[in-house]
Every structure is written in structure tokens, then in C-alpha cells.
Structure 1
């Protein structure tokens, strides 16, 4: 009896200890006196995400509530205490000056069990550094020039298809058509496959691209678990990629690589660069690891190039047309620039002439400011970091750091009249005066977006060709003000973007 009582007491003590630890992890910032919202017991400060609130709304409301209170506010990334950055000076420390202390993003990945999660965006530590070094040469200006004719070819097909839609109805839902354009561009450059989603909206690549962004393998509770307990999740062999998506992209990559190698085919595209990294005898790494890519690693990099590339570019293009439809004077100025550039090159766009579309570049940059597709930048602290001149504010080793770039882009201290579309925010003079850390749609520092050049190139080509041929204006079906999709991590419109379109 005495032994039973002792065991019961020990069990109750253990339960009490675990409950205390469970509770104390959600009292971290309150006990330090650093401002933060009260957290949900499981979701932390992410309560209501994807149902009642979008990710974008969470970042924006937190930023507006606490900016000016200090260099950062407290935040609970599910059950883990995290840092919510409020000042661009601290963002600069994290992304650039003290980058070596914040190299990791801290997203859950498990390449051993879930090959497509071994993508550059999700990798951390030495695996990220090694992969970044391998992939960086594939996105040089020279490589972009090789891929340019492919993008132009798809662009002309896009204009033909777009024109057919305009003939049938002057009210066009541009969001889906733009996604089909970028799907065909990325599918061709990334996989060497004629996706044909422009001609067939139910083409397999378009369907799988849509599903890759919207379908989750895990429930919201399981997502919270993997983010709260990543090491345990790894030991439990938890996968995050839906099975059918994994099977599709692994199959496509294996077939593409085998076909090119067996037939000695080269297209000077992204897939060629990955195949070279698989086959070339590269210099051994410092750790002695095999530096050549495996088929699974090729699939992971091609997958992120496709999934991230087609959605971010098409979304940016859609928001740009949405704003141009409301600002005819700006649209007319863009069209005038495009026509002048084309007239100098026999009516066509060349790789060199796209660089001369300076005002269009300003327009896209302003669209990225107002509608920052990736609205938050994630990092993990690798060693304790005391914020300069703020000894009370310490970022502890292992903490997630959130930098709400989208919310910062709408801060009136950084951009006057921040909710107004104004391409002059990115005139050469203003860009020269502004600290680069105040515009972060592609991140900043050594871990910025590796595909930035390609993304901007396909967006400029697509928009230039559209505006050259068509005039866009608002209609009764245009949603003003914009309403956002609550389910996506990226910023996206809740529904389609409907505009009135006329031939010029």
C-alpha cells in the first residue's frame, strides 16, 4: 500500500511538473516584462490562422499594435517563444551584420523521409550553405540570358490566349491566366516540359501546381506540433508533403533526367544546371561529403523553383494589373515606355532592352511593397544575442525570429501615404536615399531569394507584353478594397481579380 502511495505521489508530481513546464513556456515574455499578446494554449499567437485570420493579418496587426514599444515584441510561434521584430535596424543586424548568428530559417523539414522537403528554402545549417553554393551559379545574368528566349516564346503564346479570352468577354479574370502563364514558363525552364496549361486549364502541371500550394498533408494541430517540436517530429518520421504531390514531382524529374541523359539533350535551362550538379566531378567539400546532387535533391530544388516561382510571380503580376487598372495615368506611362523600347528593337523585346524598362521596374517594385507576397521573414537564433543598446532585449539561442516585411512596407515612417500606389517611391533618387533593409520582398543578405532575377524577368516580360497590347480598367466585379486569402501563408487575393480589358 505504501509503495502504491509513493508511486501515485510520484506520478502526480510528474504530471504537475509537466503542466508547470507547459504553462511556463507560454509565460516567457510576460515574466520578462516585454510586450506581447496572451497566447492560446496550443496555437500561441497564431490562434485563428487560416480560419478567422490570414497570416498577413496576424503580422500586420501585431506590428501596428507594438511598433514603437522597443526593438521587438514578444510572440509565441505556436508553443515556442519567438521574437517579433519592430525596427528595421534590428532586421539589418539579423539579416546582414550578424548573419552568422541567424543563418537558419527554422522551418520543419525531413529530407530523409520526405525528399521534397529538402529544398533550399527549408534547409538549415551546413546543408543550406552547401546547397546555396551549388545553386548560386544557376541564377547568374548569363544563365538568365540563356532562358530568356523560352520566356519570350511562352509570353507570345500567352498574349494569343489572352486575346482569345478578350474576344469572348471584355471582363477577364486575370489571376488564373497569369498563373497559367508562369506555370508554363517555370515548367519549361525548370523541367523542360511543354506544360500547355495556357491552352488547357486542366493540364496536369497546372493542377498539381495549384494542389502543391493549397493541399496540406497535416492538419493544423499536426502543423503546430511539428513547429513546436521539430526534433521529436523528425524522430517520428513525420512528413509534410502530400503523397500524390511527392510522387508526381519525383516521377517527372526522374523521367526528365533519364530522357535528357539517354538522348544527350541540352536546353540551357534550370534542369540542365541541376543535371550538371548531379554528374560533374565537382571539388570535394570541406566535410568530405558527396557534393554531387542526388535525384531526390534535384527534385526538391526543381519543386521549390516551380512552386515558389509560378505563384509569387503571377500573384505580383495580378496585383500590378489591379493597381494599374485603378491608375490609368501610370498605366499609360508604362505602355509608352514599353512601346518606345520595342520600337528600337523591331517591335520585340530583347534581353538587354528589358533592363531599360525602368518605369515598369518601379511599378513592379511598388506592387511588391504594397502586396508583399512573402509577408514575413523567418530566422532562428544560433547563439544568445543582445540587441545593441537594449540589454533588456535578449534573443536566446534556438528562438524563432519573425520580421514582418509586409507590415513594415506599409509603415508611414518608411513610406509616406503607405497605402497609396506610388511608383515614385522607387525612383532612382529615392532608392539611392533609402536603406535597402526598408524594402524586403526578396529578403536581404546572404539568404535572400536566389531566384530574384528570374522572378523579376518573367514578371517584366509578361506585364510588358500585356500592357503593350491591352488596356486594363476596373469593372463592377473588381474587388475594391482588396480582400485576402486566409488559408495561404503567402499574400493572395481571396478570389479572382476581375478587370475590364480592351485591345489598345
Structure 2
């Protein structure tokens, strides 16, 4: 009996302790939930306290669930602007976001007071390698890296890359010709994706791909498509809703996200290429990766010279600016993503608009015929830049269908005043690009495709606000690769229209239908057009 009592006592004590432990744990959880709810409710009163109109938030989601409800985020934003005006707030989780649709305030944020809005909003999770790119870097390190990268995309540095672009466009035109000879319509979004990924892979990654000919089996093409499709993964949403656990979700995303396959493939390849090229720096290659390596080596020389001097501040400055291998790899990676989807979208939109507007297409064809000599296949940088109507067509395309519609946003570094409202630090500023480009106050009959809006005569006769057209952003943090993107797109468009007449047919969806898995509009069902060879 005593033996049984001795054996029973510890189990009884443990059972009692377990009950108290469970009760204590439940109490802690309940108290935390109560604290969390009260804190969230208080944070959701920010715009009320500031006297700023706002979208009523859900306690958990804020308004993020609305923006990802299946309706296009740009349509939702349009409704919010109509209801709340040109300055209003909404919440993403607990994070306050201030929408600025007033162009004078847009200029204040992007240019005049750039010192207070130099950073993009912090990423909800510290995803690799985004944090080391000019998209993810912040403050002084962003300025240092941007100052090194900006010359990489200068006009003089882009000229040699027309050879790569022309060669890839040769293959693109051959694919179009083969389909045309069979009288087959083409799905242009996929074709342009293949072209732009082939171009950017060779120009930014020193990687030759076969994305145009073998989209289903090309490993990079499949991986990039999967990445973009799953970029907004559950870890990101959870990090937004439960900010306290952002670091944990960052770990989960970096280790388990579907983007890992593509990222690992690119990073491994770039490390190999950098190692090979560093063995013989006398041999030069024509691509963005080489330009970044050259920039890093020039900084190394500056560092070495500074070490031999007594000018310590200069030494520290040079050391700060030097590009690390991690930053070279990360920025090559982000150039791939930035230069692939956006350029494919722009080319798809341009082809669609020209097919739907045959008069504009014929006017462009006449310009090409007058400027380009018969028999000329590859076009030069100078020739493309001299095509004024082509520039008007491309500019109007980017107005109607901007390549990135929800990426012009900024983080407020310090308390400030905007439009008579006090704006506290750590508030996200959102510039509604789609609304600005389709606002009838700035663009009469905004849905109409009219390249003459961008003619020199129209520009001279109209006093257009400089912020009414910002497809690549504005100010010091605008798109660094704008020259590369414009050169590739104009080159492809010029050669396409010179060789083929684009036409709609019964399977063409008019108007285009879109979805928005990330920050870009992409055609929901593709874009079907016919291409007829010109005589």
C-alpha cells in the first residue's frame, strides 16, 4: 500500500502542476490577445486622430484582404479615391498607408522633400536576396549602391548591348514568321516573356537561355514563372498581419518559399561566373554583370589608394561605396525580375494597342520605312532613338498600361506636413499611378490610344504637370534601368512592325482583361493577335 502511495504521489503532483501550467499558459495567451486587440484598435485610430479620411479597417487584415479579394487593386483604389478624395489613408495589417493623388504633393514626396522619403517601405519579411538590392537597401547604403549602379545604365553603356538584343529579336521574328506562314494566331504575352527573359538573362546574368523556343522545358523560364505566380506567399501575409512574428516568417519564407529554386539557381550561376571572370579581369564582356564587376574593381583601386594616404574620411567613404559580391549578385537577380515581366507587359500592351488602332500602326510603319533603309535588319541605338513616332507610341502605351502599377511608394523618415495634414514618421506613402495616368483632368478621354499626346507640338502647347506621367517613377529613386528597358522594347517593336502587320481576330479579348498577382498587371487570358508579313 505504501509502495503504491509513493508511486502515485509524483504522478499526482505532476498532474496538478500540469493543470496549473495549462491554466497559466491559457491565461497568458488570453492576456496577450486582449493586449494585441487593444493595441491594434489604437493603431487603427491613427487617421481618425490626424483628421485624415480613411478606409474603415478590418481588425486583423486592415484593408489588405480587400486589395487581394479578386477584384483588381487598381479598381479598388479608384473607388477609394472617388469616396475619400485625393489624400486618404488605409491600413495594411496595422501599418498606416497614406494615398497621395494630388500631383503637387506627389512632387513634394518624390522630389522636393526626397530627403524625408528616400526609402521604400520596409519589406514585411527580410527576403533574400531582395534586402541587398537597390529595391531593398535603405538610407546611406542605398545611396552608395545607387551611385555606383547609375553609371552602369548610362546611354554609352547601353549601346553595346544592342547586339545581344538584335540577335535575340532575330529569333523572336523567326518564331512569328513560322506561325504566320501557317496562318496561326499567336499568344503574344508568352512570346514576349520568352524574348525579354532571353535578353535580360544574357545581358544581366551572363546566361544563355532558350526561353523563346522551349518555354515548357527551359529551367529558368519555368522557375521565374513559378516565382512570380507565388511571390505573394502565406508567409508574407502572416508577417503583415502579425508583425511581431515577422522574423520567424522571414526564416520560413527564405527556407521554404517556392522562390528558392529560382534564387538558388541564379545565385549559384553568378558565383561561378564572377569567380571565372575575376581570374582574368583583362578580358571584358558586354553585359550588366561585367559593368558591375568593373565598378566594384574601380572601388577596390580607390580603397587601396586611400589606404596609402592619411585622408581617413575619404578612405571610409570609398570603402562604404564598394559593391560587395552579395550586392552584385542580388542586383543582377533583381534586374532579371525587373527587366523581364515589366518589358514583356509593355511590349504585349503595345502590340495589342497597335492591332486595335491600325491607323497608328500604319503611321509608325511609314516612319520606319522612311528612316530605315531596305535590307537593314539590325537597328542601332541611334536609329531607334531617332524614331519620334515610335517614342510617342511607346509613351502612350506606358500611360494607358503602366508596366508597374503599385510600386511607387515611400516610407516617411520623420514627422512632416503634407497637404495641411500632419504625417508621422513610419507612414507608408502610396502614389496611385494607374489613377494618375487615367485621370481625365490630366488626360482628356484617357482610355483612348492617342500617341499624339506626346508629340512635340502637343507638349509645347499644353502645360502638363510633370507628375502626370511617371511610368518609371520620378526623382532620385526612379527606375535605374529605364534606358535598358526602353531600348529593348523600342528595338523589338520597331523591327516587329517593320516586318509584320498586327491584326485582331475573333479570339482577341477586347478590352484586355487583367489580373495582378504582384505589382504588375498581366493579361488574364493572354493576348491573341495575327501577324501578317508585309510586302
TM-score (norm 1): 0.90
Aligned residues: 492
8 Å Cα contact 2:184/2:530 also seen in 1: yes
- The structure number with the bigger radius of gyration is 2
Q: Name the CA shift for 1:486/1:191 in 2 (closer, same or farther; >3 Å).
A: closer
2:372 counterpart SS class: helix
10 and 252 in structure 1: CA distance in 2 versus 1, 3 angstrom threshold: closer
Quote the offset at 1:342 in angstroms. 1.0
Of residues 414, 417, 437, the one that matches 2:445 is 417
Which residue is equivalent to 2:199?
Answer: 185
1:126-157 Cα shifts (integer Å, max 9, x gaps): 22111101101100110011212211121122
Deviation at 1:93, TM superposition (A): 0.2
How far is the alpha carbon of 1:430 from its aligned partner? 3.3
**Is the Cα contact below 8 Å between 1:108 and 1:226 reproduced in 2?**
no
Contact preservation (8 Å) 1:95, 1:445: yes
Query: Which residue of the other structure, out of 94, 98, 105, is the alignment partner of 1:90?
Result: 105
For the residues of structure 2 that align with 1:7 and 1:298, how far apart are their CA atoms? 48
Contact 2:509 2:527 in 1 (8 A): yes
Alignment partner, residue 453 of structure 1: 483
Moved more, 370-379 or 485-494: 485-494
Could you tell me which runs of 5 or more consecutive residues in structure 2 were left unpaired when the two chains were aligned: 1-20, 304-314
Query: Distance between the aligned counterparts of 1:288 and 1:274, measured in 2?
Result: 16
The aligned counterpart of 1:223 is 236
Of 160-169 and 208-217, deviating more is 208-217
Does the 8 Å CA contact 2:228/2:517 hold for their aligned counterparts?
no
Q: Which stretch of the first structure deviates more once superposed, 317-326 or 11-20?
A: 11-20
| 1:26 alignment counterpart | 44
Q: Give the counterpart of 2:276 among 248, 252, 259.
A: 259
RMSD: 2.7
**Equivalent residue runs for 1:360-399 within 5 Å:** 360-376=390-406, 377-388=408-419, 390=420, 393-399=421-427
1:145 correspondence with 2:159: yes
Alignment partner of 1:250 is 2:267: yes
Match of 1:332, SS? Answer: helix
Cα deviation digits, residues 74-122 of structure 1 (max 9, x gap): 11123211101120110000000000000011141777x7234421112
Q: 1:94 & 1:309 partners in 2: Cα distance?
A: 25
Separation in 2 of the partners of 1:313 and 1:488?
15
Q: 2:513 aligns with which of 480, 483, 498?
A: 483
- Seen in structure 2, the aligned counterparts of structure 1 residues 351 and 7 have a Cα distance that, compared at 3 Å, is closer
**Do the aligned residues in 2 keep the contact of 1:54 with 1:488 (CA within 8 Å)?**
no
* C-alpha contact (below 8 Å) 2:515/2:523 kept by paired residues: yes
Structure 1: state its 5+ residue gaps.
Answer: none
CA distance in 2, matches of 1:288, 1:275: 16
Q: Deviations over 1:202-233 (max 9, x none)?
A: 322222222232223731xx323434666862
In the aligned structure 1, how far is the partner of 2:210 from the partner of 2:487?
A: 21
- Per-residue deviation at 1:268? 2.4
Are the equivalent residues in 2 in contact too, given 1:278–1:293 (CA < 8 A)? yes
Deviation at 1:33, TM superposition (A): 3.8
Structure 1 contact 253–295 (Cα < 8 Å) conserved: no
Question: Equivalences for 1:265-280 in 2 at 5 Å?
Answer: 265-280=283-298
* 1:62-461 correspondence runs (5 A): 62-67=80-85, 71-108=86-123, 114-201=128-215, 202-216=217-231, 218-219=233-234, 222-227=235-240, 233-234=246-247, 237-238=250-251, 239=253, 242-262=259-279, 265-280=283-298, 281-283=300-302, 286=316, 289=319, 291-343=321-373, 346=376, 348-376=378-406, 377-388=408-419, 390=420, 393-432=421-460, 433-461=463-491
TM-score with structure 2 setting the length: 0.85
